């Protein structure tokens, strides 16, 4: 499909989705959210794609936030609809059976941080900035920030960031566990794609089930989460990929996974 605000590139088994509004610092509006959801769904359904990288166009911003000009005029009902759209995208990223890596190439504020923390791994450029400044605008994070951020960096640190609206740099994001790794800007996309290729080389059904078990198990009791793991582990023994993976290991060759 052709999109107005999203660029889609395939590099072998890696799909790179780029939010393409550099003149607006890639700010999120209804069109961006809907088109990104469509591009993500397209990549998730493509058997040739094993992992997805999400980034922003230009050198300044990943996503500098939501489009404040559009938000300023919203009614309560429109605000709820906007939140529903943002949550729908975050849930689609979290529930995507393929790994989604955020390559944060600049400002990731408000909805930008929320989009990144819905992804499985965050790689950041050295000049990247993160923050949830919504309280400075009289609202709160509305695309999952009050919940996903706490699960990533801990409740107390998340409260500090959300209640103040402070911005942090990439080094601090790495220190608190918000970012997984930090790289020079020129190397960021290549590093994210390298990670995506390593993930895509693994058994796709296994990676999908590992993501599902880890994401869903996180909010369960330990005993329930371990039961979820056992179910996923056992189910994979009924797949052709399990037979291929173990046969390839015993035969000292690379596996040829089919996602079946």
Structure confidence by residue, pLDDT tens digits, 95-131 = 999 999 999 999 999 999 999 999 999 999 999 999 9
SS3 state of residue 10:
strand
- Would residue 134 show up in a list of annotated catalytic residues for this protein? yes
Per residue in 2-26, pLDDT (tens digit) is 899 999 999 999 999 999 999 999 9
Residues counted in the chain: 260
CB of 148 within 8 A of CB of 113?
A: no
Q: Which of 35, 78, 114, 160 is catalytic?
A: 114
SS3 state of residue 225:
helix
Domains of the chain, by residue range, sit at 6-200, 204-250
Question: In the CATH hierarchy, which top-level class contains the domain 204-250?
Answer: mainly alpha
Give 154-211 as a DSSP string. -HHHHHHHHHH--EEEHHHHHHHTS-SEEE-HHHHHHHHHHHHHHHHTS-HHHHHHHH
Supply φ then ψ for residue 104, to 5 degrees: -85, 105
- Would residue 160 show up in a list of annotated catalytic residues for this protein? no
Tokens 């990144």 appear where? 116
Give 40-81 as a DSSP string. HHHHHT-TT--EEEEEESSSSEEE--B-HHHHTT--HHHHHH
Helix (H) or strand (E) holding 151: helix 145-153
Per residue in 174-221, pLDDT (tens digit) is 999 999 999 999 999 999 999 999 999 999 999 999 999 999 999 899
pTM of the model as a whole? 0.94
Residue 185, CA distances (Å) to 59, 190, 192, 242, 254 in order: 8, 10, 11, 38, 33
* 6-200 and 204-250 share one fold: no
Homologous superfamily of 6-200 = 2-enoyl-CoA Hydratase; Chain A, domain 1 (3.90.226.10)
DSSP 4: S
Q: Which of 42, 78, 134, 227 is catalytic?
A: 134
């Amino acid at each position: 499909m052709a999109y107005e605000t999203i660029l889609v590139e395939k590099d072998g088994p890696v799909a790179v989705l780029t939010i393409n509004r550099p003149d607006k610092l890639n700010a999120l509006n209804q069109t961006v959210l809907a088109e990104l959801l469509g591009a993500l769904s397209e990549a998730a359904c493509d058997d040739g794609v094993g992992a997805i990288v999400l980034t922003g166009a230009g050198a300044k911003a990943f996503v500098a936030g939501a489009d404040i000009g559009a938000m300023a005029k919203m009614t309560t009902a429109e605000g709820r609809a906007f939140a529903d759209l943002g949550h729908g995208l975050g849930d689609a990223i979290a529930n995507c059976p393929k790994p989604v890596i955020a390559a944060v190439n600049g400002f990731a504020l408000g909805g930008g941080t929320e989009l990144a923390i819905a992804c499985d791994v965050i790689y950041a450029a050295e000049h990247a900035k993160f923050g949830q400044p919504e309280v400075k605008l009289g609202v709160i994070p509305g695309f999952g920030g009050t919940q996903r951020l706490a699960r990533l960096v801990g409740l107390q640190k998340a409260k500090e960031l959300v209640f103040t609206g402070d911005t942090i740099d990439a080094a601090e994001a790495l220190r608190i566990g918000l970012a997984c790794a930090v790289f020079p800007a020129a190397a960021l996309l290549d590093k994210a794609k390298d990670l995506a290729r390593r993930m895509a080389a693994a058994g796709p059904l296994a990676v999908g089930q590992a993501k599902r078990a880890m994401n869903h198990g996180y909010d369960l009791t330990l005993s329930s989460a371990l039961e979820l793991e056992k179910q996923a582990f056992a189910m994979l023994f009924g797949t052709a990929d399990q037979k291929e993976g173990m046969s390839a290991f015993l035969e000292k060759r690379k596996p040829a996974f089919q996602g079946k």
